[in-house]
Amino acid sequence: MAKYVIGIDFGTLSARALLVHAKTGEEIASCEYKYPHGVMDEKLPNGKKLDIDWALQHPQDYLDALARVVPRVLKIGEVSKDDVIGIGIDFTACTILPVFKDGTPLCFLAEFMSNEHSYVKLWKHHAAQDKANRINDLANERDENWLIRYGGKISSEWALPKLMEVMDEAPEIFEKMDYFIEAGDWLTWLMCEDAKVNACCAGYKGLWNKREGYPSKEFLKQLDPRLENIYETKLGLPVYPSYTRAGTLTERGAKLTTLNVGTPVSMANIDGHACLPAARITGPGKMLLILGTSYVHKVLHSDEMPIPGICGVVEDGILPGFYGYEAGQCGGGDHFAWFIENNVPYKYYEEAKNHGMDIYAYMRQKASLLKAGESGLVALDWWNGNRSVLVDADLSGLVVGMTLRTKPEEVYRALIEATAFGTKTIIDNFKISGIPITEIVAAGGIAKKDPLIMQILSDVTNMPISVVHTSYASALGSAIYASVAAGSKLGGYDDVYEAIGNMGKVDDFVYKPNPENAKTYTKLYEEYKLLHDYFGRGGNDVMKRLKNIAKEIN
Amino acid sequence: MAKYVIGIDFGTLSARALLVHAKTGEEIASCEYKYPHGVMDEKLPNGKKLDIDWALQHPQDYLDALARVVPRVLKIGEVSKDDVIGIGIDFTACTILPVFKDGTPLCFLAEFMSNEHSYVKLWKHHAAQDKANRINDLANERDENWLIRYGGKISSEWALPKLMEVMDEAPEIFEKMDYFIEAGDWLTWLMCEDAKVNACCAGYKGLWNKREGYPSKEFLKQLDPRLENIYETKLGLPVYPSYTRAGTLTERGAKLTTLNVGTPVSMANIDGHACLPAARITGPGKMLLILGTSYVHKVLHSDEMPIPGICGVVEDGILPGFYGYEAGQCGGGDHFAWFIENNVPYKYYEEAKNHGMDIYAYMRQKASLLKAGESGLVALDWWNGNRSVLVDADLSGLVVGMTLRTKPEEVYRALIEATAFGTKTIIDNFKISGIPITEIVAAGGIAKKDPLIMQILSDVTNMPISVVHTSYASALGSAIYASVAAGSKLGGYDDVYEAIGNMGKVDDFVYKPNPENAKTYTKLYEEYKLLHDYFGRGGNDVMKRLKNIAKEIN
């Protein structure tokens, strides 16, 4: 009798569930549930206005999603819940909320409903930048050794700045909450018995380290006396790796999921990290590249090394026995969307219409006909700032080389090339820090849909690039972890690497570098690097000064 | 009885004639004649194909223009030829042709008709770059002191490179021609008795200097033995200032113009320089700024000073007693045309249509609503290279500061600002070389039609800018010189400055700097200068390398 596992990927706007065969990873059914409240970035449910930079969610949406997608995939897949041997979830992070010790979110209470700090602060809630700055300044001042694990700077998106924001701006909520917990951990807790937190979130977003634990009480006290014991109290839940079992469904958990009591549940995971098992990456040398509006890069390595400009390195954060390194480009696909929306002339729309093509396809076709280097353009892909390797949100975009003969498709292609040069910069940064990369596996919308971007990435990095087979990479990764949580006795796996080897899958087609283009891109990359270092490492801080001038004016 | 003068401006595509009152400069009538052959840049009249970079004209077009526009303006203005006391012309330059000693162009003979070197080489004929390079190299090597008068580099557009092209590629024409003469000088010669050349063309395009004459025979011989005596032979006609009388109409001249025998004719002039009297500029301190597809700058000063990066300085080249300095920006209005054609999105066209506006007016309106500095953008206006002050055709465009919120009108405005920063760079270059400028008078299409560009120029330069009143500035300037050629006895002027004071005119409305914007632009100009020097003076030759890569690919 075939057994099945369910993986659910809780994204920014919806939850997507995947029902897969627990041994082969074969996809049986999938479905999506859009959160009714979506992203609350303008007002609370009661109409109360939110400041700019805010981004909240409603935890009820996650519960509703869970209750709907599980029976739905089972129905579509014609699978009985009796044959489901495990469930796993992944979540955006740091997406975090204040709860009582029975698991009730504070925003469920009438008392706190109209206080914006009682809701889930979504990963892209950016209102705690001043707290992040304070943490970074003090950590730098005290020369805290954990800072280098995060490339030298922590983000305003993470748990501690978000908690400090509550502490400073809604002290009553700070007082009343028992835990400030990642939404993914909150969900697995409600499904199982005990409250625990996953090592992936704790490590990448919560300043936790397997060997050294959290930042010292001394540091915390100096940051704010109210924080001295915070990692023993509100942030003090026990940490378990994502590839381990969180528990089994309780009565409450069975009701929430419509599955049987006793069904194994894996620890939650960060959505991007859940792609790694789906991409069949089981060790060093291969980089997972997630190509969305922004780009994310993940690499495994057996040692911990200080690498400048990464987003984080966490021991056992992704897979057992490895340090998981994460890097990122703040801008990826959003450059192309910006270009298409703001820079494509009227006549191209007309021509696209005449060819019966959408404008993306038309621009892709025009840009595909260009040879590498023929436009004479180079760009810096910093429209949304730079995460790795410069860690500087105040950088901005640049294009050089325009003439009166420059065509829109040339600028479009220059932007694609620039994002690829950004990826190569990250690869080189790993390489010179002692982590060689020889191959890329790509996931995300662009990987499946845009052969031009993929080929340019291959040409620029001069590496083969495979593409994750499924369009539900994160959900498949969660399903793989669910299979491991179930174990071999139930029909799953005892060993996570065995599970990955059998359930993860990449497409047969592999992008391979075109040697001619790769040669030209080697030259263009030299130009990119020169500009990168000049504008990004203090040679000319014009980008920052321009932003400051703009701020003064507005 | 009122007396009149006629000024004719021979442009690139047409001749435009202006009939004005000889005392007041009041415009009585104007008309235009388009050259039937236009610019021959693809083939000769007989169908013979031309190489890229070629640009020829047919001298018969000029004769036809003369014969048509003179009677036409008289008819429109209801003025008798008996009341016309002078005629003057200005011409594009260096626009030059080989002729026999009776004035017949070689291309009029069946023998030479199918040889492209027998025609007029238009100013923008660019096929003699290798000759210009040879001249520049040798002049540099020999440390020729005349080179600095041209900012350190002469252009392929000028007389000597164009003549060398004939010599090398059509030696039979080089041998047969008696003179290689500017088209403007050729026309005044045909109108009057003797062949002469005007000091403006000779100085700015012919390497002539009032005190030192032409380059030495030694230099010329080393350049090519066949050139040793060239300035005593084919380029050896006597030089007279443009504001002097060339002669009076002969029988032949009367027939060509349909005017009376004996009517005074002024020396020809370069079209841009003819704007100066129309702009009522009579001395140092004011800069004439001609705003077309490219920008041209003209300043008078009492001394000759070595100024890097100018196009030329000529004693008595514009007005008596002054050195006339010329500088230039290779790109001006053509940046904006490029932007409108290639970068304005579909939705803006739709919105413009809904507002009943053309796309230029709509973009102008949107860009006008922005405050200086609010976009966070700065550009380098080198889409067509840089003439002053870097003299480098291989530079290219740059925009820095883009974010995902950058709007098309912001980039558009950044381009306008960049061209204004380019103008300010030229003004500063004059200033630090000892030629202060405190005021601008603008001419050209943009000056009349685009208040946004004008205001930004005023804000960036922090100077008041007046606008030449007439839309026929060059033709009015030629008419003013015609009035001086006539002299006071006939009803004109004996003194050119008196003529300018009474006949030149600027609009009452003056653009004045907005202090707030001027302050912001001072900051942005600092950024422009940093980028200008970094990319323009060898800090990073990426623009040249990108052009080389593109050349290798194509």
The 10s digit of each residue's pLDDT in A107-133 is 999 999 999 999 999 999 989 989 999
Q: Do B373 and A553 touch (CB under 8 A)?
A: yes
pLDDT of residue A52: 80
Establish if B500 belongs to a structural domain: no
**Same domain (yes/no): A292, A243:** no
Q: Which of B291, B297, B194, B184 is nearest to B246 (CA)?
A: B194
Listed in sequence order, the residues at least 6 apart from A269 whose beta carbon sits closer than 8 Å to its beta carbon are: A88, A89, A90, A91, A184, A198, A200, A242, A477, A478, A481
CA atoms of A115 and B412, how far apart (whole Å): 44
**Same domain (yes/no): B454, B488:** no
In this complex, which of A371, A377, A543 lies closest to B546 when CB atoms are compared?
A: A377
Triad B102, B108, B109: Cα angle to 5°: 90
Total Cβ atoms within 10 A of residue A355: 11
pLDDT of residue B151: 87
Q: Do A527 and B520 touch (CB under 8 A)?
A: no
CA atoms of A177 and A188, how far apart (whole Å): 19
CA atoms of B428 and B460, how far apart (whole Å): 12
Label residue A553 by pLDDT band (50, 70, 90): confident
The 8-class DSSP code of residue A282 comes to -
pLDDT in tens, A199-219: 999 999 999 999 999 999 999
Measured in angstroms, the CA of B452 and the nearest CA of chain A are apart by 19
Residues from chain A that touch B550, judged by Cβ atoms under 8 A, are 373-376
Measured in angstroms, the CA of B340 and the nearest CA of chain A are apart by 8
How many domains is chain A built from? 2
Establish if B441 belongs to a structural domain: yes
Contact B170, B117 (CB under 8 A): yes
In this complex, which of B338, B375, B550 lies closest to A374 when CB atoms are compared?
A: B550
Measured in angstroms, the CA of A160 and the nearest CA of chain B are apart by 28
Establish if A501 belongs to a structural domain: no
Establish if A312 belongs to a structural domain: yes
Total Cβ atoms within 10 A of residue A489: 8
pLDDT of residue B533: 98
pLDDT at position A235 over 80 = yes
Measured in angstroms, the CA of A404 and the nearest CA of chain B are apart by 6
Q: Do A535 and B400 touch (CB under 8 A)?
A: yes
Measured in angstroms, the CA of B264 and the nearest CA of chain A are apart by 44
**Same domain (yes/no): A147, A80:** yes
Residue of A nearest to B351 (CA): A346
Measured in angstroms, the CA of B389 and the nearest CA of chain A are apart by 19
The label of the residue with tokens 């579509």 reads A76
Does ipTM exceed 0.90?
yes
Q: Do A404 and B338 touch (CB under 8 A)?
A: yes
In this complex, which of B523, B535, B550 lies closest to A375 when CB atoms are compared?
A: B550
Q: Do B398 and A397 touch (CB under 8 A)?
A: no
Residue of B nearest to A522 (CA): B549
Strand pairing of B96-99 and B286-291? unpaired
Measured in angstroms, the CA of B550 and the nearest CA of chain A are apart by 4
Q: Which of A551, A541, A549 is nearest to A395 (CA)?
A: A541
CA atoms of A383 and A335, how far apart (whole Å): 7
Q: Which of A387, A418, A385, A388 is nearest to A400 (CA)?
A: A418
Q: Work out how many CB contacts closer than 8 A connect A with B.
A: 160
pLDDT of residue A29: 98
pLDDT of residue B52: 80
Q: Do A550 and B334 touch (CB under 8 A)?
A: no
**Same domain (yes/no): A37, A151:** yes
Residue of A nearest to B550 (CA): A374
In this complex, which of A343, A523, A546 lies closest to B343 when CB atoms are compared?
A: A343
* Token pair belonging to A253: 């958990």
**Same domain (yes/no): B271, B381:** no
In this complex, which of B331, B343, B543 lies closest to A401 when CB atoms are compared?
A: B543
Residues from chain A that touch B533, judged by Cβ atoms under 8 A, are none
Q: Do A398 and B403 touch (CB under 8 A)?
A: no
Range of the structural domain that residue A38 is part of: 4-278+473-495
**Same domain (yes/no): B129, B84:** yes
Establish if A234 belongs to a structural domain: yes
Residue of B nearest to A517 (CA): B553
Establish if A178 belongs to a structural domain: yes
Helical spans, DSSP H, in A406-510? 408-432, 445-449, 451-461, 473-486, 496-503
**Same domain (yes/no): B463, B479:** no
pLDDT of residue A151: 87
Q: Do A549 and B376 touch (CB under 8 A)?
A: yes
> Residue A539: which CATH number?
3.30.420.40
Q: Do A396 and B402 touch (CB under 8 A)?
A: yes
In this complex, which of A344, A406, A542 lies closest to B400 when CB atoms are compared?
A: A542
Residues from chain B that touch A378, judged by Cβ atoms under 8 A, are 542, 546
Helical spans, DSSP H, in B385-471? 408-432, 445-449, 451-461
Establish if A500 belongs to a structural domain: no
CA atoms of B180 and A233, how far apart (whole Å): 94
pLDDT of residue A311: 92
Strand pairing of B120-121 and B56-57? antiparallel
CA atoms of A476 and A4, how far apart (whole Å): 12
pLDDT of residue A261: 98
Residues from chain A that touch B374, judged by Cβ atoms under 8 A, are 550, 553-554
Residue of B nearest to A550 (CA): B374
Report in angstroms the alpha-carbon separations of A426 from A317, A437, B181, B544: 20, 10, 62, 27
Q: Do B404 and A334 touch (CB under 8 A)?
A: yes
Please name the amino acid found at residue B96: I
**Same domain (yes/no): A93, A224:** yes
CA atoms of B371 and B452, how far apart (whole Å): 12
**Same domain (yes/no): B320, B233:** no
In this complex, which of A342, A373, A400 lies closest to B407 when CB atoms are compared?
A: A342
Q: What pTM, to 2 d.p., does this model score?
A: 0.92
Per-run averaged pLDDT (10 residues), chain B, 554 residues: 96 96 98 97 94 93 98 98 98 97 97 97 92 96 94 92 98 98 98 96 96 97 98 96 96 97 98 96 97 95 92 92 95 95 95 96 97 97 94 93 96 98 98 96 95 98 98 97 98 98 97 97 98 97 96 86
CA atoms of B227 and A538, how far apart (whole Å): 54
Establish if B195 belongs to a structural domain: yes
Q: Do B374 and A550 touch (CB under 8 A)?
A: yes
Q: DSSP assignment of B476-514, as one string?
A: HHHHHHHHHHH-GGGTS-S-HHHHHHHH--B-S--B---
pLDDT of residue A15: 98
Give the side-chain half-sphere CA count within 13 A for A205.
Answer: 31
Measured in angstroms, the CA of A423 and the nearest CA of chain B are apart by 19
**Same domain (yes/no): B296, B341:** yes
In this complex, which of B378, B523, B542 lies closest to A378 when CB atoms are compared?
A: B542
pLDDT in tens, A374-423: 999 999 999 999 999 998 888 999 999 999 999 999 999 999 999 999 99
Residues from chain B that touch A404, judged by Cβ atoms under 8 A, are 331, 334-335, 338, 383-384
Residue of B nearest to A533 (CA): B540
Tell me the β-bridge partners of B291.
B295
Report in angstroms the alpha-carbon separations of A172 from A98, A115, A167: 12, 10, 8
**Same domain (yes/no): A423, A383:** yes
Residues from chain B that touch A524, judged by Cβ atoms under 8 A, are 546, 549
Label residue A36 by pLDDT band (50, 70, 90): very high
**Same domain (yes/no): A100, A162:** yes
